[in-house]
Amino acid sequence: MKKPMTWSYAPYRYPFDSVGDIYICRIVPTDTEISFDFLDIGAAEYSVYYRLRSIGKYTLAGTVKPNVTRDVTYTIGGLTIGNEYEFYVEADGKKSRVRLAKCGHFDCESIINYLHPDDEAYAFSGRYLCSPSIIHHPDGHLLSSMDVFAGNHPQNLTLIYRSDDNGKTWHYACELFPCFWGKMFIHKGELYMFGCSTEYGDMLIGKSTDGGYSFCEPTILYRGSNGKNGNAGMHRNPEPVVEHSGRIWNTVEWGTWSKGYHAVMAVSAPVDADLLDSQSWEFSEPVKYREWEGLPKGKSAGNIEGCLVIGRDGNLYSMMRYDMSKLTPNYGLAMLYKINTKDPAAPMRFVKPIKFEANHSKFEVAWDEE
């Protein structure tokens, strides 16, 4: 076996387990239908089978010939809202994994992807689609990424989908391994991805030159741990990347819930630097939470998931989610830190708490010109 020289796969296949000979790469259930895409293996025709979950024999839903694209799409119709179904694809003696979906009503114009929590397709990483990131590529298409999460799982796979019609329809682009908490961004017309190798793992950056269908081997910007043994490591979230004072900026944290802290940090690089060179990047000294003036009393794990904002005074700030679960009051505040843009290695400085009802969840703040 040779070491892969890439970050992206289509799909990622791991030893001693299988994604199936035919790979179902996207699922979209509705009230009475289940549509799904799978990668063409060159067969002249594919057969689709389905049944109520764990009930009866599989029924032939129909056959489909491949599209002109690499993704083949099929829709199983005549289903019942609220019911759960199993389905698979077969052709030329080859078969996909059995996948799961529940019919239901989704109040949105389009669904990018769906994953049933009992579906084992990505169990090597997790069971839930999390950490959404969406971006408008300079070439005109949209890209959306999501990692596959579950507690006590490796949490190391990210799926990427592409839309060429402004979000009306989506198709599979690739998947990144290892990648967790990923954030795509555009810099100087090129597509990059920030991520971690896993929860509290290494911080990574990679680049795509073909519109998101593949990414180069990632660069490690900061070593972490794996987070499963209680050791502290890198923590981040898919928040905006901001350009300010001749540098591009993002926020990360160092810590872990089991250690009881997350120390806040900023990471930045000069706008003209090679972003795939780890020496281009500077991390500020991590700052642990403490009971600064004006804060509620009690024990807190601190701040995570900082969102960078440029203030009306022209300074760069990080507005952060605030663990208030053991404080009195136990909700209603976010935290504001100021970043020293003249000295990127300097620690972020606590400014003040901000009244904010959604402090326990990830949030994003963006400037509206109007």
286-342 confidence digits (pLDDT tens): 999 998 988 998 999 899 999 999 999 999 999 999 999 999 889 999 999 999 999
CA neighbor of 262 nearest in space, from 300, 320, 301: 301
Q: Are 32 and 81 in contact (CB under 8 A)?
A: yes
The per-residue pLDDT for 18 is 75
Task: Name the percent of the chain lying above pLDDT 70.
Answer: 98
Enter the DSSP assignment of 218. P
Between CA 321 and CA 361 the distance in angstroms is: 7
Q: Which two tokens stand for residue 185?
A: 């961004």
Burial of 171 (C-beta count, 10 Å sphere; 0-12/13-18/19+): middle
| 54-68, 70-84, 355-369, range with the lowest pLDDT | 355-369
Which comes out higher in pLDDT, residue 260 or 351? Answer: 351
Encoding tokens for residue 13? 């296949």
pLDDT of residue 154 exceeding 80? yes
Rounded to an integer, what distance in angstroms lies between the CA atom of residue 291 and that of residue 362? 22
* Average pLDDT over every residue of 199-216: 96
Query: Where is average pLDDT lowest: 14-23, 60-69, 160-169, 298-307?
Result: 14-23
The pTM (predicted TM-score) of the whole model is: 0.94
Q: What Å distances lie between residue 244 and 218, 241, 260, 277, 319, CA to CA?
A: 24, 10, 32, 20, 16
Question: Would you say residue 1 has pLDDT above 70?
Answer: no
What superfamily would CATH give domain 7-121? Immunoglobulins (2.60.40.10)
Measure the CA–CA gap between 198 and 206, rounded to whole angstroms: 15
pLDDT of residue 347: 98
pLDDT at res. 203: 96
Find out whether 274 and 262 touch, Cβ atoms under 8 Å: no
Average pLDDT of the residues of the chain:
93
| 147 vs 103: CA distance, rounded Å | 23
329 CA to centre of own chain:
32
Alpha-carbon distance 50 to 37, whole Å?
15
Q: How confident is the model at residue 207 (pLDDT cuts 50, 70, 90)?
A: very high
Task: Give the pairing type, strands 34-39 and 24-29.
Answer: antiparallel
Query: Which pLDDT value is given to residue 343?
Result: 97
The conformation of residue 302, written as its DSSP 8-state character, comes to: B
Range 111-131 average pLDDT: 95
Q: What is the pLDDT of residue 360?
A: 83
pLDDT grade, residue 2 (50/70/90)? low
Residue 367 and residue 309 in contact, taking contact as beta carbons nearer than 8 Å? yes
**Spatial separation of the C-alpha atoms in residues 198 and 179, rounded to whole Å:** 6
Secondary structure element (H or E) that encloses residue 229, with its range? none
